[in-house]
Structure 1
């Protein structure tokens, strides 16, 4: 009998563990309990996964000690040839949890390749409920939730980035489609400046920061309004904070 691949959601940032069960309003109790039963994990980062499991263990005893759990890494540097080895526990009949660095696995996450391979081997895949920064941002933006596209990271080269923004804005205008982007947190200011500079003045831009955390902020304004705020040095408090960018022309 084959094992089941559970897709385990993670929090979207650090939480104060002194304030009781900090996972309670983010990760459903049933998902916490299921995650605590597993012996095998595939993680984007083993160190941060151990930290998450330690938080989980405060309210749901783990099946084994942190040291005894088998945590194998799967990230952007993992060669495709190594994926089959990650299936070994599943093929041997053990359940495995695939856990992301933040949010849900296999969405804007290298775990999708393992999920696809699991399907090819007829392994049952069970996605568990948890926070997705992309969907939370879309929900809170007020932009079109009927048609949207996630575009990942834009080019870091200024000229190429400007060209890409204009291409996406043209698509947004023609298809009435919300465009969703992410950026490395220390480049948040540069991304907002680029969007404000290269989008038409009426285009709506949403900046969603620290979603699900106490410092959460979601602001939707036109490109023209953002441009004026930037000129007045009134930027959002998003330096080095996980942020999702959305716009709709």
Structure 2
């Protein structure tokens, strides 16, 4: 369905403002962001306690309502009701831009569906702040966010990302950074260049640059503090699927195994075999995992 909304349109409905908040240094709060928080009827905050300190600092008295990952579905109908009644709402996360590894996207989608204007404000963002100072190629880049917490799942996801030639950006918590670096060394190799950024915009802002092997060694001998942005250089020579010798008369499962033997993940191998045989990916997937046999 084609829709069109704009910030200047005349409507009885209110507006949803997406307001970035500082990722560390409170001086990064823009005058427009402060003015918006002052003029809206309600602030939907990821953590009302954290936002209360921010509001107190800038002398903003607008009331708050909690809006986080655990109450999203419960809150959205109430917030939509207020917006449709003409109230304006500002949505904020604890730090940075709403929706970027933080709550927000569900409310935005609901407003878009209801044709309620969504007005984004520019402001602090940890990923881009780290990228421009990293020394790695700034474009193109791929923002991934948080990897799965379990090493097995991390490795599986990183294997799929190993084909990327662009700079990759991840977020990671201090208590998991060591395990994540170990997974990256396993998949990307110890020589791939990486930049760790922590305490961005704060007094003890720090950039650690080197190979994955060097940075992993640092992490093993350091008391880790601070949230991290992890930037990994792209793969200049990604694995190539050598399909010229692939026998397409073989069963799909055998073809997948042959492609995997060239160093490709099973997911990518299934995709490639489906492409070469001009069949749906699900057909090859079921054949490789013997799902059709289990139903017989």
When normalised by structure 2's length, the TM-score is 0.68
Stretches of structure 1 that go unaligned for 5 or more consecutive residues are 16-22
Tell me what 2:261 maps to.
none
Equivalent-residue separation in structure 1 for 2:136 and 2:206 (angstroms): 16
Identify the residue that residue 163 of structure 2 maps to in structure 1. 171
Q: Which residue of 2 aligns with 1:3?
A: 14
Map of 1:199 onto structure 2: 188
How far 1:98 moved relative to its partner?
0.3
SS of residue paired to 1:9: coil
Show the 5 A alignment for 1:112-151.
Answer: 112-151=105-144
Q: How far apart are the structure 1 equivalents of 2:217 and 2:49?
A: 42
Distance in 2 (alpha carbons) for counterparts of 1:79 and 1:127: 19
Once residues 229 and 5 of structure 1 are traced to their aligned partners in structure 2, the CA distance between those partners, rounded to angstroms, is 44
The answer (yes or no) to whether the contact 1:27–1:129 under 8 Å persists in 2 is no
Q: 1:19-72, CA deviations, whole angstroms, 9 ceiling, x for partnerless residues?
A: xxxx33x12222222222223011111111111111121xxxx3xx4xxx4322
Q: Quick check: 1:12–1:103 contact (8 Å CA) kept in 2? A: yes
Q: Tell me the distance in 1 between the aligned counterparts of 2:134 and 2:35.
A: 32
Determine which structure has more spread, i.e. the larger CA radius of gyration: 2
Give ranges in structure 2 of 5+ residues lacking alignment.
1-11, 236-296
Alignment match, 2:88: 95
Match of 1:216 among 171, 181, 205: 205
The answer as to 2:23 corresponding to 1:12 is: yes
Paired residues in the alignment total: 223
Query: C-alpha deviations, 1:89-125, integer Å up to 9, x for none?
Result: 2111121100011111122222111011111222111
Aligned 8 A contact 1:141 1:219 in 2: no
Aligned partners of 2:107 and 2:117: how far apart in 1?
A: 12
Q: Distance in 2 between matches of 1:89 and 1:205?
A: 46
Contact 1:171/1:177, CA 8 A, preserved across alignment: no
Are residue 244 (structure 1) and residue 229 (structure 2) matched? yes
1:220-249 residue CA offsets vs partner (Å, 9 max, x unmatched): 212233245457x3x4x6x23111111113
Q: Return the structure number with greater relative CO, CA threshold 8 A, min gap 6.
A: 1
- Give the CA RMSD over aligned residues: 2.1
**Secondary structure in 1 matching 2:36:** helix
Checking the alignment, whether the CA contact within 8 Å between 2:19 and 2:92 is kept in structure 1 is yes
Q: Take 1:196 and 1:220, find their aligned partners in 2: how far apart are those partners?
A: 15
